[in-house]
Copies of this chain bind each other. A is one copy, B any other.
Amino acid sequence: MSNRWILSEYDVESPFQQPAPFLKTAKSHGLSVTHTRLIGGRRDGVELLTVQNGDFSFTTIPSRGMGIHLAKHGETRLGWDSPIEGPVHPRFVPLFDPSGLGWLDGMDELIVRCGLESNGAPEFDTESGRLKYGLHGRIANQPTEDVVVEVSEGGEMCISGEVRETRFLCYNVALKTEIRTKSGENGFRIRDQIINRSAKPSSAQMLYHINLGAPILGEGASVVCPVSEICPRDDHAATSIDTWSTYLPPTAGYAEQVYFMQLAADADGKTCALLKNAAGDKAVSVHFNVKQLPYFVLWKNTAAVEDGYVTGLEPATNFPNPRGFEADHGRTIQLAPGQTYDIDLGLQFHPTAESVAEAEAVIAGLVEGKEAKVHTTPQSAWCG
């Protein structure tokens, strides 16, 4: 028997004081989901869904585009300590700050989607100087509609919802998302659909900013991924190209270093990147398909703990340059009227040296006999 709870269905007859159908905690097949609404400060009004699956748990944020706030395995936290100390309600995130940097006021999550009309660095109109596209787009600060939690007979929970980025006459692309976890799984899988709801052709971009800090990240931690081609984003990153895959301890004044890549994959396009701790006995792996997400960005921000000691593993449809540069280089998703672009993304936790080694072996297999093309300087077609 399958269980289905509609969390955000409301009835225009139901006043505020008699809230819409609402669920504190529901359980099924050893899985539970808890619905919370935070009160006070910058979190005021933020809704959360926390899923408990044995030792593994994670929290999604319907109020923030169904991003993933954090995950946990026992006492091990997957996520990072952002100086933002969120989750921040979108009303406190000034996406339209003329500087284009307002998005940074809410950056706090383990997984934050960057899109849909654009992601990457802000872009300004060359003539008027006015902001055209703010940093990393709008989707992470839009609330989710039609949130539903379901548990199938087979014991798989699915949280679904839709996030809309709509400006009348201008843009109408939606993100349908499903987040799944099966009883006993140490992770979750996301299926996102980017849908052009307009009768006119449209376009989109998507980048998954997957952010990890301590305890997985630490001095001597490393990223393992099947690099096919890599280059530093800028001259500053170029100075450390030799150590791109390893991490410093928290370092006051560290300026972020970013590497752009393409990864090798299996015949179906499936690939994987992981971050493991220094001891090699804990890791987080990210699973995706290069047919859907052909680019991969590694963001290293091993700054002081107070400033956010964190690294980002970022599969994407493009590089996070200003949108115009990416469009010129063909790195936007073109969407015919009504067309959908599917993306599958998984995150798994590896709690033992054995499970880490197993995941590494899979990655090693993807590059066996192939040589990575390593550029020691920024490449003009990739770095805008």
Contacts and interface: CB of A to CB of B under 8 A. Distances in A.
Interface of A: 7-8, 10, 12-17, 19-20, 22, 24, 34-45, 47-48, 50, 62, 82-85, 90-92, 94-99, 101-102, 104-105, 107, 124, 128-132, 142-147, 164, 166-170, 172, 197-200, 252-253, 256, 301, 303-308, 337-338
B44 A16 contact: no
Contacts of A253: 199-200
A12 B253 CA distance: 34
Contact of A16 (B13, B19, B200): B19
Given A42-B142, A101-B167, A130-B131, 17 more contacts: A12-B48, A19-B39, A40-B143, A85-B166, A91-B91, A94-B95, A94-B96, A98-B131, A99-B130, A104-B167, A105-B168, A124-B130, A129-B129, A199-B253, A200-B253, A304-B337, A306-B338
A145 B104 contact: no
24 contacts: A7-B40, A8-B39, A8-B41, A10-B38, A10-B43, A12-B34, A12-B38, A14-B36, A15-B35, A15-B36, A40-B47, A41-B143, A44-B143, A83-B197, A91-B91, A96-B96, A96-B97, A97-B131, A98-B131, A99-B132, A105-B166, A199-B303, A199-B306, A306-B337
B132 A130 contact: no
Contacts of A99: 130-132
Nearest 3 interchain pairs by C-beta: A16-B37, A199-B304, A8-B40
A311 to B, nearest CB: 14
Name A's interface SS: loop
B15 A37 contact: yes
Contacts of A12: 34, 36, 38, 48, 50
A198 B256 CA distance: 15
Contacts of A84: 166, 168
A73 B12 CA distance: 18
Contact of A15 (B22, B96, B168): B22
A39 B343 CA distance: 29
A200 B168 contact: no
A237 to B, nearest CB: 15
A72 B29 CA distance: 45
Given A36-B12, A99-B130, A200 B252 contact: yes
Contacts of A8: 39-41
Nearest to A107: B168
Given A16-B19, A90-B92, A82 B168 contact: yes
A20 B37 CA distance: 10
A13 B40 contact: no
A168 to B, nearest CB: 4
